[in-house]
Structure 1
Amino acid sequence: MKMRASPAALAILMALSSTVDAFAPIKPRTSSSIISATSLHAESPPAASNFLTPELAQSCIDVASGTPLYAYSLATLAKSADDCLAFPNAYGLTVRYAMKACPNGTILKYFLSRGICIDASSGFEVRRAMDMGVPAEKISLSSQELPHDFDELVKLGVKINACSISQLERFGQAFANTSQKVGIRINPGVGSGGFSSSATGFSKTNVGGPASSFGIWHELVSDGTVPSIVEKYGLEVERIHTHIGSGSDPAIWQSVAKTSLSFCALWDSVTTLNLGGGYKVGRNAGEKTTDLKEIGAPVADAFRDFAKEHGRELKMEIEPGTYLVANAGALVTTIQDKVSTKSSSGDAGHIFLKMDAGMTDVLRPSLYGAIHPITILPASGKSSDVGTSMESVVVVGHCCESGDLMTPKPGEPEALAERTLRTAQIGDIAVMDGSGAYCAGMSTKNYNSFPEAPEVLVDLGGNVHLIRKRQSLKQIYENECDVEAGLF
């Protein structure tokens, strides 16, 4: 069956071809995700982290044989899974976990047990998920780099979204005239994410708009380029996919969802609209977490409106990553040193706490000026020993790198910001909450030859399970090869 763009559908997309005009009424809201250095300085830190008491943190350390380590709360994972599975929808919902956020196999298996599928970002992630027992048909691949074996993955049952014109051409060439089903990822012309207030400008966590390379530019859909390729190879478009970035403004997200539905009108074979993820999670006091019911209800209504107009009841897909795992994870470290640059003359200086972890374990503070709450716990691992005195400090990592900074100014990764924390001594425990997403999976592995940190899971009964061993020194360089003797 050939999929042709109807004149009505093309007319809709032609009207949307001017990104500025289409989205001119939308004003990005002031993000509540950025807390000023002043407010961070003034707040009284908690005695315990999100889910780790001093005693439980010590149990994690014992199971992992020391620090640093990542700890994950099964109770928090369960709550976030419940929230996502209850996302408002009109005609059916598939939740896909963006596994790049935290790809540990135990976490993949848990979400699979809850009926959550997988959003993979590379062919390697696809294979990794399958090795963990995830059925191929429950995996969707949207990748900047289409793997060389994509045709084999498709035959196994993996769903692939073509994310560029060349990817769509390669897909068509591999499955010409077979009515092979394919998804198409479209850049709708705007984005939302990070510390940028612009819906069209550059931000490192903004994956939509003219400053983003992700997806097929929407004008290449409305001008007939994409429909002509689909027709040339006899493909069957089953899904439209859009994703605009992290920390998305609800107004922009809802408008993009409605625009994405107009792309679905191009092919009568489309059965599913995938709206990506990027739902903001508040890590600190005063930060708001996205209300999924609030942003989802109007979108579900839009799906119903589409069904009335086009006679098709589309299924919805979402791809949360951060929302599912961010606050379920914490980095547990030891304060291994404490130094001061304050002079007796009163000149400006700082007290520095040096962790036995850093950008090797939590990279995003260094990249984006992200803010993670930090809690100081006593070295004894006893709640009765939690101190009451406070001090203003700068927290840094263990790498021989000036940019290894754990307390940057919000949105300014190269600027220092002091944090008021409980007074720490060498040997005390420091917990960085909100480290479940894009930490273990995104770390600068093995910089300064520091090994990858182990991971543990805290179950519903408070028991701790090792789910990833600490990497050994030999494992860091075991793939290096010697050259022949006499070469130098």
Structure 2
Amino acid sequence: MKTPHASLALLTLLSTGAHAFAPNLHRAPSTALRATPPSQSNFLTPELAASCIATASGTPLYAYSLPALAEAASACLAFPNAYGLTVRYAMKACPNGSVLKYFLSRGIHIDASSGFEVRRAMEAGFQPEMISLSSQELPGDFADLVKMGIKVNACSVSQLERIGKAFPNTNQKVGIRINPGVGSGGFSSSTTGFSKTNVGGPSSSFGIWHELLTDGTVPSIVETYGLEVERIHTHIGSGSDPAIWQSVATRSLSFCKIWDTVTALNLGGGYKVGRNPGEKTTDLIEIGAPVADAFREFAKENNGRELKLEIEPGTYLVANAGALVATIQDKVSTSDHIFLKMDAGMTDVLRPSLYGAIHPITILPGSGKSSDIGTDTESVVVVGHCCESGDLMTPKPGEPEALEERTLRKAEIGDIAVMDGSGAYCSGMSTKNYNSFPEAPEVLVTAEGEVHLIRKRQRLEQIYENECDVPQGVF
């Protein structure tokens, strides 16, 4: 679909942040983040953006690039390994059925975080044996899922006991998720302190604390119920520091020595993706090659035991394959700031607001405007459409409660904003329906520029259709 928008796309670095706490709107303005605007977004030209908007019948919407999904899938499937590899998509990152079905077509398996995700994956076509469940809340129907063939990792001592009681003395196969004592978080240099992106270490509730394996607690439960441990699982967070990741991989292999029935080691995911210029994306070959060597060394030291490797990428597979497309619906000024207001916000992008992350955004001319919208720049604060002081698109990097201006090309009401790097933890993780804003639609863009609707825009009545009236006379 061709449109008059064949212009130079305008870009600045913006945040997708929104936070439950009010930003500091009265502090002195900081030096605005500056960057040379690239010519277009990651994959949306002005023409393609217009086609996405037409297909979705307006903004906001999420767009996903099929070629970008393919490139990321190929990179993960090429992860170095010694004796076999299973790539599991952490589907919580973006659970749209079309995305799931594409990864299924590439032979990628599933990492599910709830019983509901398990059934959603099966609905998309995944066979039960292709699905691994690691959940903070063990589903009430977990026994039924196990009988179907789902691979369940016990993520706490009580979960392991519940599995044992459901399948006593049957040699039921089970995986065990271990907290190895350290973590890796994108906004924290600490490997043991609390960080929202750190899911390992003493400040994390994820997994069974490693000392409970070495002190005999977990082996005793396994023996009591006659379970067969076939998988060891660790996941430390989203930092992807090569040294930490490789150290944890080596340590995780030591846990595999406890049971000679273990056939696979799952090292999780959390591979960092660079969304902005200068940000480094995890080199999977760099972090994977030494791990493959460690697997070979393990085999030499343990009577030829050849363990298979499992990884669980989420962000790596979809982050830069997705973009949020929104409209600048208002522009206001105060004595300190110029504010651009999008017709999207924390209802569509929430995770960066929790961490103060920044994403690139491209400003395209609105419908009917000249393709030549100039090269003037201005420092602005970008906010969302919610009646919420924390609906902030541009927090200070790493500080979600601190407002910071961004420098971008001048935008006017009606212009289009394309926020790249929004493929992960946006459509699947947001405050959708806050202020009764409907869930945004999703589209898939092919290499040929075809745009396909893969989720309809939610209708208002769908937001409240599950509400029930109380009996007459209660009020």
Normalising by the residue count of structure 2, what TM-score does the alignment of the two structures yield?
A: 0.92
Alignment pair present for 1:339 and 2:326 = no
1:390 matched to which residue of 2? 377
Find the residue that maps to 1:320 and give its secondary structure: coil
Alignment pair present for 1:473 and 2:460 = yes
2:5 matched to which residue of 1? none
Within the candidate set 222, 228, 239, 1:230 is matched to 222
- Distance in 2 between residues matched to 1:450 and 1:42, nearest whole Å: 32
2:129 matched to which residue of 1? 137
Q: How does 1:414-429 map to 2 (within 5 A)?
A: 414-429=401-416
1:450 matched to which residue of 2? 437
2:236 matched to which residue of 1? 244
2:310 matched to which residue of 1? 317
2:245 matched to which residue of 1? 253
Structure 1: any 5+ residue segments left out of the alignment? 1-32, 343-348
2:355 matched to which residue of 1? 368
Give 2:439's aligned amino acid. Answer: E
For residue 175 of structure 1, report the CA deviation from its aligned partner.
Answer: 0.7
Q: Which has the higher contact order (CA 8 A, sep 6+)?
A: 2
- Distance in 2 between residues matched to 1:150 and 1:263, nearest whole Å: 25
Find the residue that maps to 2:247 and give its secondary structure: helix
**Deviation per residue, 1:469-488 (Å, 9 max, x gap):** 00000000000000011111
Alignment pair present for 1:483 and 2:475 = no
1:14 matched to which residue of 2? none
Give 2:410's aligned amino acid. Answer: T
Alignment pair present for 1:82 and 2:74 = yes
- Distance in 2 between residues matched to 1:452 and 1:130, nearest whole Å: 23
Identity percentage of aligned residues: 83
Counterpart contact for 1:195–1:203, Cα < 8 Å = yes
For residue 90 of structure 1, report the CA deviation from its aligned partner.
Answer: 0.2
1:98 matched to which residue of 2? 90
Distance of aligned partners of 1:165 and 1:95 in 2 relative to their CA distance in 1, 3 Å threshold? same
Within the candidate set 401, 413, 421, 1:434 is matched to 421
For residue 252 of structure 1, report the CA deviation from its aligned partner.
Answer: 0.3
Alignment pair present for 1:299 and 2:291 = yes
2:182 matched to which residue of 1? 190
Alignment pair present for 1:148 and 2:140 = yes
For residue 39 of structure 1, report the CA deviation from its aligned partner.
Answer: 8.7
- Distance in 2 between residues matched to 1:398 and 1:341, nearest whole Å: 18
Counterpart contact for 2:32–2:404, Cα < 8 Å = no
Counterpart contact for 2:113–2:133, Cα < 8 Å = yes
Structure 2: any 5+ residue segments left out of the alignment? 1-14, 16-28
Give 2:432's aligned amino acid. Answer: K
Counterpart contact for 1:179–1:236, Cα < 8 Å = yes
2:25 matched to which residue of 1? none
Counterpart contact for 1:57–1:381, Cα < 8 Å = no
- Distance in 1 between residues matched to 2:368 and 2:450, nearest whole Å: 16
- Distance in 2 between residues matched to 1:228 and 1:377, nearest whole Å: 62
- Distance in 1 between residues matched to 2:122 and 2:219, nearest whole Å: 32
Find the residue that maps to 1:41 and give its secondary structure: coil
**Deviation per residue, 1:350-404 (Å, 9 max, x gap):** 1000000000000023211111111111003789435311111100000000000
2:344 matched to which residue of 1? 357
2:393 matched to which residue of 1? 406
Find the residue that maps to 1:385 and give its secondary structure: coil
**Deviation per residue, 1:115-138 (Å, 9 max, x gap):** 000000000000111111111110
- Distance in 1 between residues matched to 2:370 and 2:443, nearest whole Å: 21
Find the residue that maps to 2:285 and give its secondary structure: helix
2:36 matched to which residue of 1? 44
**Higher helix share goes to which structure?**
1
1:264 matched to which residue of 2? 256
Q: CA RMSD in A?
A: 1.4
